[in-house]
Chain A
Amino acid sequence: MSTYDARFRVWRGDVDGGELTDYTVEVHDGEVVLDVVHRLQATQTPDLAVRWNCKAGKCGSCSAEINGRPRLLCMTRMSVFARDEVITVTPMRAFPVVRDLVTDVSFNYAKAREIPAFVPPAGVGPGEYRMRQEDVERSQEFRKCIECFLCQDTCHVVRDHEENKGAFAGPRFLMRVAELDMHPLDAAEEAGLDRRRTAQEEHGLGYCNITKCCTEVCPESIHITDNALIPMKERVVDRKYDPLVWLGNTIRRRKTT
């Protein structure tokens, strides 16, 4: 096993301000950045604040920025850096700092509440749901989301534009609208809820100009832009300008159920 000393610069501070602090810390074979942060806690600075849970890329807790790039600390291997490289770890920039690497991500929970839940189809009881695999797969891709909020962090609509946060749900929650809209049995329409219209008018889909930054940082490799946002934009356009396309889509959709 080979071991070396790495140079880390970690942002330390709170809502009142802070600064990058330098550390030299031991690194072992096969480690990820989160291992090194844990070693800092255990040996040098026990109160270094960081969120983490599973350390396996499944929970999306340890989101931060490494050398300026939004990443999961637990899925960033030390071997991707040169041994003499200074590794800078900072909190997600789009959200207010709580302390050190921990940010206040309540924006995301507020947005989640604004997306109306799945509407079960009337007259279909538990155990009676029938859906084809190819029809559930589109929404299943979006349900792989681990809610790390890296896409929300990187999206330029809000990253340096606090003023847009009110009107813009962000890629994660626009994708949630797409997921429900593509759910083979969601009965929102029957209940008088037009998910496509709300995506545009209430959740700020129009702000997105498909630069794909969200897709690039997604640790689950979800094609957020291509499979969720662009199709939603197309559907919104269909709805606005072509009632026949809308009618056709609706009939096709009902047949598959």
Chain B
Amino acid sequence: MTHVEREQWDVVVVGAGGAGLRAAIEARRAGARTAVICKSLFGKAHTVMAEGGIAASMANVHPQDDWKTHFRDTMRGGKFLNQWRMAELHAQEAPERVWELETWGALFDRTPDGRISQRNFGGHEYPRLAHVGDRTGLELLRTLQQRSVGLQQEDHRETGDHEGRLKVFQEFTVTRILKDGDGRVSGVFCYERESGRFLVLEAPAVVLATGGIGKSFKVTSNSWEYTGDGHALALLAGAPLVNMEFVQFHPTGMVWPPSVKGILVTESVRGDGGVLRNSEGRRFMFDYVPDVFKEKYAETEEEGDRWYEDPDHNRRPPELLPRDEVARAINSEVKAGRGSPHGGVFLDVSTRMPAETIRRRLPSMYHQFKELADVDITAEAMEVGPTCHYVMGGVNVDSETAATVGVPGLFAAGEVAGGMHGSNRLGGNSLSDLLVFGRRAGLYAAQYALSGVGGGIVAADVDAAAAEALAPFGSASGASGGHGAERNADASGGRGPEGDAGPPENPYTLHQELQQTMNDLVGIIRREGEMAEALDRIAALRARARRVTVEGHRQFNPGWHLALDLRNMLLVGECVARAALERTESRGGHTREDYPAMDRAWRPVNLLCRLDGDGIALERTRTEPIRPDLLALFEQDELAKYLAEEELEGLEGSHGA
């Protein structure tokens, strides 16, 4: 039996981004001894890359804004596939969550009368995004980080121990959720990156807050951490994922130079007045306003331009359509041969506002293009194109409590959770999602943990997790020489149950092949044959991944870390491909060339992914009907564009129309 050090906690939060830290703060406040585990250093989470803002209907800039408008915008943005109760809670609670950050020291940009300023963003009817220039995510994360430290300072004053009630395990990676004999969560198995040593944290409640899956794709705005860990941990623990076919390609990523391809160009550029043009100089977005949005967007450039100054009497420019629409439009322009020299389109602010204003409002963008591409955005247009940005799909959770469906004690919040954003997320709704559902997950995880449930760790599961983590060292000398590395019990070279024969594989090579596969075959525009091919390739990659071999020892070994992350990326990649192949329509972040239209019959259908042996099995479920008082927030003819036939019939009955 493997000897692994153990610690006892009430709540373990996996991930220290916005959702994880907000969950940890709440769990600690609710009286639970809380441990946070993160892959990177504390304060480096992907949340720092969020630029534009936090959506919350505080009505500081436009007095008519309220949660109902925010709810409507969110549902429209998600093409009505959203888990409506989540969208409702999100819209209602977001303002409180933003104001709370101020009491923890956050410094947002201000309105002339001293309140939190709010900016325009795609799909939001009113200026709604609280922001700090174009580095809002950094402000949010730093505030939560400093609040966590503040709580540790309080604990230290009281008990003499900074870490007794809230501790951050930085640069640790969780590889398995552990359960007791009755199938309830009992802890996590993880390794320390620095030393390679294993650690088991025993806890009756675990909150997954691991973010997204972008590193399965070649062109992405996501950082290295986004390997779908929480998605895979949930699957492996027996919790299903929902809506995995919906992947958001942000319309504006950098396209040149190649080494920065995919890095995000914030939507604020368009929110603040930037326009998209093709190689002929045309503002092509006017040609791509879909029917469902026709009445809400300007038909002429003049009207669109007037909207920035007088939003009550003009309609917004189509550059501010939801992200899925803009990304597809850019894709079409490039395909039609009207792209920019490096395969994107032009995004221009230089002719739209004075250089000084650009540098003040978009400082990071100015810096990013100057430093990485030698482009001065105050003098010339940027070149941009779609980049994999966000996964709408994720762990299927209860709307109120963030508890996963099917695994008692397992919770999920933030990008790793599914449902909230439906088929497409609006900009700014991610940071608010992290805060609203991070808090809920922390609160309910603490309540659950403190109710006295949960059994012990099963020793055989710990042994199996240790063997799995050591497998990439094989029987070679690599496993020794490190700091107390245990040898893999299975030294025959045939590590999988099938006893795969073949040459050793390099994890970097497999990762690159997976990224290319997802990018080319399950990317922004999808076709049946290509997705079927993607599934074949993923299956082949999975077989080869069993032969991954790494050099060196366990101390801070990136090759080993990647080898372990591969399992997660392959699982998640299969979920995306399988669900995308099944959904025979186009909606939000899922576009089928062979089924180009949205099909109302698919509106009440969710696809659940579960682990089935080695692979993924799909299940179709019907969503819970949208509550009538929420439906009443929309006009009948708008609902008629979205709801399935039988849903509309029910509606006519209840409305007596």
Partner-B contacts on A (CB < 8 A): 1, 14, 28-32, 35, 41-43, 46-61, 75, 77, 98-100, 102, 104-105, 109, 112-113, 116-118, 120, 126-127, 129-133, 136, 139-140, 143-144, 146-147, 180, 183, 186, 221
Q: Is the CB of A30 within 8 A of B150?
A: no
Check: B361 CB closer than 8 A to any chain A CB: no
**Given contacts A41-B558, A46-B558, A61-B44, is CB(A183)–CB(B162) below 8 Å?**
no
**Which residues B551-565 have CB closer than 8 A to chain A?**
551-553, 555-560
Which stretch (B139-147, B321-329, B453-461) binds chain A?
B139-147
**Given contacts A75-B371, A109-B42, A117-B146, is CB(A143)–CB(B559) below 8 Å?**
no
For the complex of A and B, 3 pairs with smallest distance between CB atoms: A30-B257, A118-B105, A117-B150
What A residues does B104 contact at CB under 8 A?
Answer: 117-118, 120
CA distance A100 to B316 in the complex (A): 52
Partner of B559, one of A28, A46, A127: A46
Check: B428 CB closer than 8 A to any chain A CB: no
What A residues does B139 contact at CB under 8 A?
Answer: 143
B interface residue count range (under 10 / 10 to 19 / 20 to 34 / 35 or more): 35 or more
CA distance A189 to B297 in the complex (A): 51
**Which residues B128-160 have CB closer than 8 A to chain A?**
132-133, 135, 138-139, 142, 146-147, 149-150, 152-153, 156
What A residues does B95 contact at CB under 8 A?
Answer: 127
What A residues does B156 contact at CB under 8 A?
Answer: 113
Q: Is the CB of B135 within 8 A of A105?
A: no
**Given contacts A32-B259, A118-B146, is CB(A102)–CB(B153) below 8 Å?**
no
What A residues does B147 contact at CB under 8 A?
Answer: 117
Q: Is the CB of B223 within 8 A of A54?
A: yes
What A residues does B49 contact at CB under 8 A?
Answer: 54, 56, 58-59
Partner of A98, one of B150, B507, B556, B560: B556
B373, closest chain A residue (CB): A30
What B residues does A48 contact at CB under 8 A?
Answer: 558
What B residues does A102 contact at CB under 8 A?
Answer: 194, 556
Check: B113 CB closer than 8 A to any chain A CB: yes
What A residues does B506 contact at CB under 8 A?
Answer: 42, 46
CA distance A8 to B555 in the complex (A): 23
B96-134 contact mask (Cβ, 8 Å, vs A): 1 or 0: 100110111101111011111100000000000000110
CB distance from A17 to the nearest CB of B (A): 14
For the A-B complex with A41-B559, A53-B223 known, give 8 more contacts whose Cβ atoms are closer than 8 Å.
Answer: A30-B260, A30-B372, A57-B372, A59-B48, A61-B40, A113-B156, A118-B150, A146-B138
CB distance from A130 to the nearest CB of B (A): 4
A-B CB contact pairs (8 Å), 14 listed: A29-B258, A30-B256, A31-B257, A53-B44, A53-B224, A55-B260, A56-B260, A58-B135, A98-B555, A99-B555, A117-B153, A131-B110, A136-B110, A140-B132
**Given contacts A118-B105, A126-B96, is CB(A53)–CB(B46) below 8 Å?**
yes
The interface residues of chain A, by DSSP majority, are classed as loop
**Given contacts A57-B368, A59-B48, is CB(A143)–CB(B153) below 8 Å?**
no
Q: Is the CB of A113 within 8 A of B508?
A: no
Check: B344 CB closer than 8 A to any chain A CB: no
What A residues does B133 contact at CB under 8 A?
Answer: 140
Check: B41 CB closer than 8 A to any chain A CB: yes
What A residues does B206 contact at CB under 8 A?
Answer: none
Q: Is the CB of B557 within 8 A of A49?
A: yes
Q: Is the CB of A143 within 8 A of B107?
A: yes
Partner-A contacts on B (CB < 8 A): 40-44, 46, 48-49, 58, 95-96, 99-100, 102-105, 107-110, 112-117, 132-133, 135, 138-139, 142, 146-147, 149-150, 152-153, 156, 162, 194, 223-225, 256-260, 263-264, 364, 367-368, 371-373, 506-509, 512, 550-553, 555-560
CA distance A77 to B371 in the complex (A): 8
What B residues does A57 contact at CB under 8 A?
Answer: 367-368, 371-372
A41, closest chain B residue (CB): B558
Q: Is the CB of A28 within 8 A of B113?
A: no
Q: Is the CB of B259 within 8 A of A31?
A: yes
CB distance from A207 to the nearest CB of B (A): 23
CA distance A221 to B359 in the complex (A): 13
CB distance from A50 to the nearest CB of B (A): 7
Q: Is the CB of B368 within 8 A of A53?
A: no
What B residues does A14 contact at CB under 8 A?
Answer: 555
A147, closest chain B residue (CB): B43
Q: Is the CB of B258 within 8 A of A132?
A: no
What B residues does A147 contact at CB under 8 A?
Answer: 43-44
A105, closest chain B residue (CB): B41
- In this complex, the member of B43, B224, B558 whose beta carbon has the largest number of chain A beta carbons within 10 angstroms is B558
CB distance from A205 to the nearest CB of B (A): 20
Q: Is the CB of B100 within 8 A of A59?
A: no
Q: Is the CB of B257 within 8 A of A29?
A: yes
CA distance A10 to B60 in the complex (A): 53
CA distance A48 to B44 in the complex (A): 21
What B residues does A131 contact at CB under 8 A?
Answer: 107, 110, 114
Q: Is the CB of B560 within 8 A of A53?
A: no
CA distance A49 to B152 in the complex (A): 31
Partner of B110, one of A43, A75, A133: A133
Q: Is the CB of A130 within 8 A of B99?
A: no
What A residues does B102 contact at CB under 8 A?
Answer: 126, 129
CA distance A180 to B224 in the complex (A): 32
Q: Is the CB of B149 within 8 A of A56?
A: no
What B residues does A120 contact at CB under 8 A?
Answer: 103-104
CB distance from B38 to the nearest CB of A (A): 11
CA distance A55 to B258 in the complex (A): 13
CA distance A143 to B509 in the complex (A): 39
**Given contacts A61-B40, A75-B372, is CB(A56)–CB(B107) below 8 Å?**
no
CB distance from B552 to the nearest CB of A (A): 3
CB distance from A122 to the nearest CB of B (A): 11
CA distance A116 to B153 in the complex (A): 7
CA distance A144 to B40 in the complex (A): 20
CB distance from A80 to the nearest CB of B (A): 11
- In this complex, the member of A46, A132, A146 whose beta carbon has the largest number of chain B beta carbons within 10 angstroms is A46
CB distance from B507 to the nearest CB of A (A): 7
What A residues does B550 contact at CB under 8 A?
Answer: 46-47
B507, closest chain A residue (CB): A46
CB distance from A90 to the nearest CB of B (A): 16
Q: Is the CB of A58 within 8 A of B138?
A: yes
**Given contacts A77-B372, A117-B105, is CB(A47)–CB(B152) below 8 Å?**
no
What A residues does B259 contact at CB under 8 A?
Answer: 28, 30-32, 35
Partner of B368, one of A1, A56, A132: A56
- In this complex, the member of B149, B156, B506 whose beta carbon has the largest number of chain A beta carbons within 10 angstroms is B149
